[in-house]
A and B are shown apart, each in its own frame.
Chain A
Amino acid sequence: MVATIPRVAQVWDWLDEVPDPEIPVISLRDLGVIRDVRWEGDILSITITPTYSGCPATSLITLDIHSALADRGVDKVRVMQQLSPAWTTDWLSDKGRARLERYGIAPPGQAGGPDRCPHCGSDKLERISQFGSTPCKAAWRCMGCLEPFDYFKCI
Chain B
Amino acid sequence: MAQILNRDTALFHFLTRIGDSTLILGHRVSEWCGHSPMLEEDIALANTALDLIGHTRMWLGLAAEVEGKGRSADDLAFLRDSMDFTNLLLVEQPNGDFGQTMMRQLLFDAWHLPYLNALKSFPDPRVAGIAEKATKEVAYHVDRAADLVVRLGDGTHESHTRMQAALDELWPCVGEMFSTDEVDAMLAPDAPKPDRIRDAWDATILPTLARATLAVPATRFTRQGGKTGRHSEHLGHVLAQMQFLQRAYPGATW
Contacts and interface: CB of A to CB of B under 8 A. Distances in A.
Interface residues of B, number: 27
Contacts of B143: 130
Interface in B96-149: 125, 128-130, 132-137, 140, 143-144
Interface string A128-155: 1111110100010000000000000101
A135 B55 CA distance: 13
A84 B128 contact: yes
Contact of A53 (B43, B55, B125): B55
A55 interface: yes
B144 A53 contact: no
Q: Is the interface of B mostly helix, strand, loop or mixed?
A: helix
Contacts of A88: 136
A83 interface: yes
Contacts of A87: 133
B133 A129 contact: no
A83 B140 contact: no
Give the most central of A56, A84, A128: most B CB within 10 Å.
A84
B40 A128 contact: yes
Contact of B129 (A54, A83, A129, A133): A83
Nearest to A138: B140
A14 interface: no
Interface string A81-108: 0011111100000000000000000000
A84 B132 CA distance: 7
Contact of B54 (A55, A86, A128, A139): A55
A86 B125 CA distance: 13
A62 B91 CA distance: 33
Interface string A14-56: 0000000000000000000000000000000000001011111
Contact of A129 (B40, B50, B136): B40
A131 B47 contact: yes
Interface range, A side: 20 to 34
B53 A54 contact: yes
B183 interface: no
B213 to A, nearest CB: 23
A52 B51 CA distance: 7
B144 A131 contact: yes
Residue with the greatest number of chain B CB neighbours at <10 A, chosen from A55, A86, A155 = A86
B52 interface: yes
A54 B52 contact: yes
Nearest to A55: B54
A128 B144 CA distance: 12
B165 interface: no
Given A129-B40, A129-B43, A135 B51 contact: yes
Contacts of B52: 54
Given A52-B137, A83-B133, A129-B40, A135 B47 contact: yes
A53 B47 contact: no
Contacts of B44: 129-131
Interface of B: 40-41, 43-44, 47-48, 50-55, 57-58, 125, 128-130, 132-137, 140, 143-144
5 contacts: A53-B137, A54-B57, A86-B135, A131-B40, A155-B136
Given A84-B133, A130-B144, A155-B136, 14 more contacts: A53-B57, A53-B58, A53-B134, A83-B58, A84-B129, A86-B129, A86-B133, A88-B136, A129-B43, A131-B43, A132-B43, A132-B47, A139-B43, A155-B140
